[in-house]
Structure 1
Amino acid sequence: MHSKTFGAIIALATAFAFATPATAQAAPEPSAADTSPDSAADSGETGNGELIVTARRRDETVQDVPIAISVVGGEQIDNTGAFNVGRLQQLAPTLQFYSSNPRNSAANIRGLGAPFGLTNDGIEQGVGIYVDDVYYSRAASSTFDFLDVAQIEVLRGPQGTLYGKNTTAGAINITTRQPTFTFEGRAELTIGNLGFTQAKAAISGPLSDTLAARLAISSTSRHGTLFNVTSGNRINEQDNLGLRAQLLWQPADGLEVTLAGDFNRQDPECCGTVYVRTGLTQRALNRQYAALSAALNYQVVSTNPFDRLTDIDADLNAGNSIGGASLRIKWDVGPGTLTSVTAWRFWDWKPENDRDFTGLPIVTRSQNPSQQDQYTQEIRYAQSGRALSFVVGAFAYHQRIDTQGLEQHGPASSRWNINPSNPLAFDPTVLDGLTAFNTQALSNTSLALFGQASWHVTDALTIQPGLRVNHDRKSGVYDRQVFDGQGQPVLLGATGARRAAQLAIFSPQSYRPSGSDWNLSYDLTLSYELGSDLFAYATYAKTFKSFGINQNGVPNDASGVPALAAQTILPESLNHYEAGIKTQFWDRRGTFNLSIFRTDISNYQAQVINGQFGTVRGYLANADAVRTQGFEADFALRPSDRVNLYLRGAYTDATYRRFIDAPCPPELSGGGSGAVIGAPGTPGTNSPAFCDISGQRLPGVSKYSLSYGVEINQPAELFGKSGEFYAGLDGSYRSDWSSNPSPSAYSWINGYALTNMRLGFRTDEGLDLFGWVRNAFDVNHYEALNVPGGNTGLITGQVGDPRTWGLTAKAQF
């Protein structure tokens, strides 16, 4: 671990020590964002159905919002260990999250959002992440710890007529705890196995009659779950530090000005993989993993991935920092509220990776550090009335990303990558030291006008139209220069077998993609009160994901010139249909919500391969059609103050409807070219140039997913303190899913269930002490499987956490 952040932990532990009943003061009345119950089994809805959400940019009860929405309270987040988006997916079944490192991270909802495993700065995320109304464009933000969070709303389906940045798949709306004019504080300290230490603290109170402040800090550290026998280090550790400060100025009734700033840092030795298996490809047998490993006298450290051993030999680093500042003004003007949100955010990424996934010096350096600055300005006016409610707004967004990439090969590369029938395969100097320098830059500007109205035709019927007009402009730079081990440039058109072998690894290229486009989105929702606590709605939405530009290279044509026709990618076009019911029963002790949906996408943005540019190299382009459909159910029951339970489930059928030029799975790759195609996994046969995967499932999507939990409590006294003992269980299940964009027999991940348990005592004065076990049954599972390049048949993986356990102490005062 590069930094243990001991100072932060000690400071937080000190704060916790002072958070005793003797010094506790009366807590203020909870705000709307704090009305969820303390029970960690909370379904996101209180027993009387009065949980307030801001999904439609105004305060409403969750049961009155005609949107498929899951709400997770801050207490549930803390008590279940769901301290980032990756862990949040265990509580929200239709949320999928995958991450091989912070940059290669993405959140999908209902199978949509970002192409699985595809990292390209030139395309947009389909799931918007918002923190206190500020849009976070970098998916890396989803790997950081939640900091002083009051509640999280996961909105499913397009939200472009409500939110500043267009979101085609959904939005994750995070609300943090706000400054208060009554003194309050929170402190939490957790210790566990694997050296796990997490400390959190927050303090809030008045600085004057009109000025209040809040300061929060969080620190997380844990030993790595993998042991690297090459370095002798435990890797894939956690090392996070987060700070957030807010000032609230209320100079008059109806006017709030909030200045906020945050800084988050991660510095782990991460992210490594383990050997999982091999599978035969159509490459010649002497060029597959077993033969190549034997030729280089290499034997992997363990063939059992759950030994959690690796021998990767390149340096690893996932160090990055993210933060920014925002100014939010809320002003009651006339019958509504005018809100202005001005924000700047940055992200600095300093990675080092092992891109050959072995203990051999094939790729010895792989790093693509980048720096991002983002500026946003949103202005909106929202009004709630008896006959008409509406929100209208304008949004401006500018993003700048600069990347400096470097990839270098080592002495084992020649033997691994060059056909052994070529004598150059036995000359390490051919590829040793071969280096590619990649310079990339992106300028991304978006302007939008959006609005949504709710016309209450009768007390029961509401008609809700929405509209969005969007303009996007993007320009970029891609420049790759290649040098051999002697520092000499490797140029296109160079002659000789040595240069040909080097150009087969790295090809120099330079181009400047750019484009601009206008798009129109609209939606219509009808909702109807069928009876007391029974609500139905239906929605149609026509929306888009903006066009993209290729920032990772395009094919060269037959003359070696970049195929500039491939530098831009058409926008995705979506038609979305949804219907649902929301109901409460048994004096609102029970809640049942059901939604059904279908989304049809044309021009789906994905990695494709075709011969239209005189090459079969993969590049980012458009697949013809994708569809996702299914249903979701949320059930919660609180039969008494002693018992609280929830069950959430989803069925998701997400498939490529027409994708005829997709990359082939590994069992159909690596062979020669010819009219006669060999059977999958038959060495030495011909492979298709591209594959038709129409009808097959989208990657990362489980057809069935569940989350469930129960908590029971019993009033009692302990050491003279009144309170309650409680026991809780939270579980999640997801069925099998594909971990490769083109489904492969080698990369399906079997379904699995994870179970978390806790047992504790909390007092009426705000103290809470509990022990917990996560993945209680020590289920071996994968977070992802990887298919390294080269068609050698190697499959590596990221294994999920083993059983972990610990003790948490919390106090509120």
Structure 2
Amino acid sequence: MKVRHLLAAGAASLALVSHANAAETPIPAAPSSDAEATADPQTTSVGTGASDSGAIVVTARRRSETAQSVPLAISVVGGEHIDSTGSFNVGRLQQLTPTLQFYSSNPRNTAVNIRGLGVPFGLTNDGIEQGVGIYIDDVYNARVASATFDFLDVKQIEVLRGPQGTLYGKNTTAGAINITTNQPTFDFEGKAEVSVGNYNFVQAKAAVSGPLTDTLAARFAVSSTNRRGTIYNVKTNQDIQSQDNLGLRGQLLFKPSDIFTITLAGDYSEQDATCCGSVYVRTGLTQRALNRQYAALAAAQNYAAPSTNPFDRVTDLDSPLQAGNKIGGASIKVKWDVGPGTLTSVTAWRFWDWKPQNDRDFTGLPIVSKSQNPSQQDQYTQELRYNYSGDRLDFVLGAFGFYQRIDTQGTEQHGSASTKWNLAPSNALYNSNVLNGLTARNSQYLKNTSVAVYGQASFKLTPELTLQPGLRVNYDKKDGFYQRRVFDIAGNEILLSSPSTPTKTAQLGIFTPQEIAPKFSDWNFSYDFTASYKAAEGILLYATYAKTFKSGGINQNGVPTDTANNPILASATVKPESVRHYEAGIKTEFRDLNAILNVAIFRTDIKDYQANVNNGQFGVLRGYLANAGAVRSQGVEADFSVRPNERFNTYINAAYTDATYRKFVDAPCPPELSGGTVATGAQVPGAAGTPGGLSPANCDISGQRLPGVSEWSVSWGFEANAPVDLFKQDGLVYLGYDGSYRSSFSSNPSPSAYTQVAGYSLSNFRLGFRTDSGFDIYGFVRNAFDQDYFEQLFVGPGNTGLIAGLPGDPRTFGLTVRTAF
């Protein structure tokens, strides 16, 4: 904490000193910045910012071009708007980009999806690929945990929707998030920012850049965020769900000539929050016997949740909580103008170190007394590509290599309340405490190798008509290992080969020893084709078809067992997803009105969709992967922005997404249809929520919506300003507003009435004063109307009917001082 406070104080001092020394110059009618550009009809940037002029330039297709000229659905958010709206990580960015979904119960269990597609909703499994690629300065980040860190010195973020495998190093079937940071400059410049707010919120950012020699420039940036937690744990007298983030980035640019550059970059980020927990939300009847459901189990141990109102934000989790998260790495980018094109090489190494502790029973009882699965990752990537731009032909050719190793060491242990929670009163061991101290130790590793060649060309058949084919050839190989060993409280190992006893049977009902070494390898060929037509000045039509894939995977968290407790090895691997994507859109510019309107319609059909499956048991198998028959995501998106004059601009972005399982006949059942004796033969399963009823072995959820996807999501906002003379400086006083809405969504892989998250709307305001010299001071309020909402709901283990949840942030407010020099 002391380091964070020193950074905050240093940045504040830098801000005040630089403002005091800044020249007082009149502010122009339309201040200039490349951060936001809704003022110019050539732009498609999200939101409204301080400076709205000039076309947004994007590198989505590995070359610089205006966003409105790119024949794909893309949202662009400038660094200044990211800062001014408090959207300092992907979780907050989703409020500005309606088709982006972000879910995180902790940094490891994080999902980033676009149009409902990307990764299965639920506990993270290291054995599959991310469907949404995250790139920072051309470096692929394999761990989605990187999405939980604060953005650091960002110039702009491009959110690309739809498959991007013929343009990017790692294959991405749902889209890509392309983050560009500010680069070293040969002119001295800097910026600093400090924010303070309620919940002891303190955030400080600073960056400085300039020449070291005539051919060498450097840039250094730092960011620190601290905030106390929003949930109070009465058991430990702690505020949980806190923020404690530190980020550092340094870059060196060597430019001996105009045609050759080398950029060396290194970054390090860490999180050390008191995180991550949950609160009691509700209970719902399952098909378990009534005396084995939550109400009876809690009463048997004289337990009651500290509050039955989740928005009291009170919990009593008794296991230690920790979310130690470190991520970083280094890269070398070489760019060389060779003849008519540019050759680029990007070599990178990244690491990830995860040290968690969790409470997996979601209660204040010592049922699961320890749950921790620390992991370490090393990732190496090499990308080589050549870009050519001509009068009639543009193309990109690339090769990509990727190697990743993840090692995980897990410990799960049951406590003194486990026996009475998990064994029926009729069991002779009910009062024996036989499950106390039962421990599973898990060891696993993953070796993941991928190589690919890819390319995309743009043929300008006429000044109006362009054809754009692309292709990719990809090889993936995954080697995994998973071992679970089980020990009793005395440290004696429990083996499947040991003589069967009632004690052993009870203990194996919680943890089953297992060892598997799954492997997967496959070649894949994918392609896409886009045609675009400039119908008139300011009107671009385009249509895309893509046939692509997501690599097959392996189950790294164990697999189901048969009646003899042997692993079902057929479940150790999952087949690749086969993806067919169709999209059409129109991009329009209304120059007389300084407005744009873009509309896209899309449909994505996926065969062998990789779904997350949970069996509802403690520690037996928390989750594994399986192939659903088919999934479809289709919908329409619209983006509109207008700036009628220099004093006002506004935007609205909306998306309708219909993402459903088209065929999933053997899916896991929702909690209301789980927990009873499994129906066999001609037996008829009982009605949902009938205690003691028969449960189906699996459920047909064909036609139901994918988890985490709202049918409707909208973001909108405006900024108005007026010239004033304040603090003895000419400037602008401004009022900004950003709102968002999303309709209800399922928070369970199989839709359940118990885990449906109600729709909600959030409103964020800012009021401030800025000058052309770079000084900016504003107050902000987020979730201004203190909307109660859930980010996620969780089904408690064991089919007891317990539903826990993670409430979204309450109203927060504060003050920001920013300067640039």
TM-score (norm 2): 0.96
**1:58-69 to 2 correspondences below 5 Å:** 58-69=63-74
Structure 1 CA distance for aligned equivalents of residues 35 and 769 of structure 2: 21
Shift of 1:37: 4.5
**Alpha carbons 1:43, 1:72 under 8 Å: kept:** no
Corresponding position: 1:738 with 2:746 = yes
Question: 1:373–1:313: structure 2 CA closer, same or farther, 3 Å change rule?
Answer: same
Superposed structure 1 runs of 4+ greater than 6 Å apart: 38-41, 44-49, 615-618
Give 1:477 shift: 0.7
Q: What is the Cα deviation at residue 556 of structure 1? A: 2.5
Q: How does 1:552-631 map to 2 (within 5 A)?
A: 552-587=557-592, 589-608=594-613, 619-631=624-636
Q: Which moved more, 1:586-595 or 1:531-540?
A: 586-595
CA distance in 2, matches of 1:33, 1:621: 48
The Cα of 1:609 is off from its aligned counterpart by 8.0
1:62-77 residue pairs with structure 2 within 5 A?
62-77=67-82
Deviation at 1:173, TM superposition (A): 0.2
One-letter identity of the residue aligned with 2:696: P
Checking the alignment, whether the CA contact within 8 Å between 2:767 and 2:780 is kept in structure 1 is yes
Q: Does 1:506 align with 2:514?
A: no
Alignment match, 2:790: 782
Q: Report what 1:801 is aligned to.
A: 809
Residue by residue over 1:725-754, the C-alpha shift from the partner in whole angstroms, topping out at 9 and shown as x without a partner, is: 000100000000000000000000110000
What corresponds to 1:719 in structure 2?
Answer: 727
Helix, strand or coil at the partner of 1:487: coil
**Could you tell me how far apart the structure 1 residues matched to 2:24 and 2:446 are?**
51
Tell me the secondary structure at the aligned position of residue 502 of structure 1. Answer: helix
Any idea what the Cα deviations from partners look like across 1:513-557, whole Å, max 9, x if unmatched?
A: 112100011000000000000000000000000010110111223
Aligned residues: 802
1:475 matches 2:483: no
The AA in structure 1 aligned to 2:482 is: Y
Match of 1:125 in 2: 130
1:247 aligned residue:
252
Cα offsets for 1:186-229 (capped at 9, x unmatched): 00000000000000000000001111000000000001000000
Partner Cα distance (2:545, 2:52) in 1: 31
Q: Give the match for residue 145 of structure 1.
A: 150
- Matching residue's letter, 2:223: S
Alpha-carbon distance between aligned partners in 2 of 1:536 and 1:128, rounded to the nearest angstrom: 26
Q: Aligned with 1:359: secondary structure?
A: coil
| Residue 237 in structure 1 maps to residue 242 in structure 2 | yes
Letter in 2 for 1:479: Q
231, 236, 241: which one pairs with 1:226? 231
1:80-95 superposed matches below 5 A: 80-95=85-100
Cross-structure match for 2:28: none
Structure 1 residue corresponding to 2:468, chosen from 444, 464, 470:
464
2:36 aligned residue: 36
Aligned to 1:647: 652
TM-superposed deviation, 1:423: 2.2
Alignment of 1:404-443 (within 5 A): 404-428=409-433, 430-443=434-447
- Structure 2 counterpart of 1:298, one-letter code: Y
How big is each residue's C-alpha offset from its partner over 1:664-722, in whole Å with a ceiling of 9 and x where there is no partner?
A: 00000000123121110010111001110000000000000000000000011102201
Hey, what does 1:543 align to over in structure 2? Answer: 548
Aligned to 1:606, what secondary structure does the other structure show?
strand
SS in 2 for 1:5: helix
Summarize deviations over 1:405-439 as a string: whole Å, max 9, x none.
000000000000111210212222x0000000000
* Aligned partner letter, 2:170: K
Letter in 1 for 2:778: F
Change (3 A) 1:641 1:247: same
Give the conservation status (yes or no) of the 8 Å contact 1:47–1:588.
no
In 1, Cα distance between the equivalents of 2:621 and 2:15?
Answer: 60
Does 2:17 match 1:22? no
Distance 1:341 1:41 in 2: 29
Instruction: For 2:148 and 2:720, locate their aligned partners in 1 and report how far apart those are by CA, in whole Å.
Output: 31
Displacement of 1:607: 3.0
Q: Distance in 1 between matches of 2:320 and 2:557?
A: 23
Q: Secondary structure at the match of 2:642?
A: strand
Name 2:42's counterpart in structure 1.
Answer: none
- Could you say if the C-alpha distance between residues 556 and 719 of structure 1 is closer, same or farther in structure 2, counting changes exceeding 3 Å? closer
Q: Taking every aligned residue pair, what percent have the same amino acid on both sides?
A: 65
Aligned counterpart for 1:490 among listed residues 491, 494, 513: 494
Query: Structure 1 stretch 615-624 or stretch 751-760: which is displaced more?
Result: 615-624
The letter of the residue matching 2:34 is: D
Q: Which residue of 2 aligns with 1:29?
A: none
Whether contact under 8 Å (2:36, 2:48) holds in the other structure is no
Q: What is the alpha-carbon distance in structure 2 between the residues aligned to residue 249 and residue 44 of structure 1? A: 33
Work out the CA distance in 2 between the residues paired with 1:539 and 1:286: 57
Deviations 1:763-806 (A, max 9, x none): 12110000000000000000000001100000000000000000
| 1:678 equivalent in alignment to 2:677 | no
1:519-530 mapped onto 2 (5 Å cutoff): 519-530=524-535
Amino acid at match of 2:685: I
User: 1:44, 1:70 within 8 Å by CA — same for their partners in 2?
Assistant: no
Shift of 1:386: 1.1
Asked if residue 792 in structure 1 is aligned to residue 794 in structure 2, the reply is no
CA shift in 2, pair 1:47/1:130, >3 Å: same
> Aligned partners of 1:357, 1:566: CA distance in 2, in Å?
29
**Partner residue, 1:758:** 766
Q: Which amino acid aligns with 1:718?
A: L
Give me the whole-angstrom Cα distance separating, in 2, the residues matched to 1:530 and 1:46: 31
Conserved? CA contact 1:231–1:313, under 8 Å: yes
For the residues of structure 2 that align with 1:744 and 1:536, how far apart are their CA atoms?
41
Say which of 285, 301, 304 aligns to 1:299.
Answer: 304
CA shift, 1:299, in A, is 0.9
User: Following TM superposition, by how much is the alpha carbon of 1:560 offset from its aligned partner in structure 2, in angstroms?
Assistant: 3.5
Contact 1:257–1:327, Cα closer than 8 Å, also in 2? yes
Q: TM-score normalised to the size of structure 1?
A: 0.97
Gapped regions of structure 2 (runs ≥ 5):
26-31, 40-44
Q: Distance in 1 between matches of 2:592 and 2:208?
A: 37
SS state at 1:142 partner: helix
Measured in 2, the distance between the counterparts of 1:385 and 1:159 equals 22
Shift of 1:620: 1.4
RMSD: 1.8
Deviations 1:475-515 (A, max 9, x none): 01100000011111111144011100000000000111112
Aligned pairs for 1:386-405 (under 5 A) are: 386-405=391-410
Look up the equivalent residue of 1:6 and give its one-letter code: H
Stretch of structure 1 that moved more, 791-800 or 493-502? 493-502
Aligned to 1:349: 354
Q: Counterpart of 2:439 in structure 1: which amino acid? A: T
SS in 2 for 1:692: coil
Shift of residue 563, structure 1, vs aligned partner: 2.1
Which residue number in structure 1 is paired with residue 190 of structure 2? 185
For 2:272 and 2:258, the matched residues in 1 are separated by 44
- Which deviates more, 551-560 or 156-165? 551-560
Q: Is the 8 A contact 2:50 2:81 kept in 1?
A: no
Write the distance in 2 (CA, Å) between the matches of 1:9 and 1:758.
Answer: 21
Please state whether the residue corresponding to 2:80 is helix, strand or coil: helix
AA in 1 matched with 2:705: R
Relative to structure 1, is the Cα distance of residues 173 and 246 closer, same or farther in structure 2, using a 3 angstrom cutoff? same
Deviation at residue 587 of structure 1 after TM alignment = 2.9
Which amino acid in structure 1 is aligned with residue 13 of structure 2? T
SS in 2 for 1:426: coil
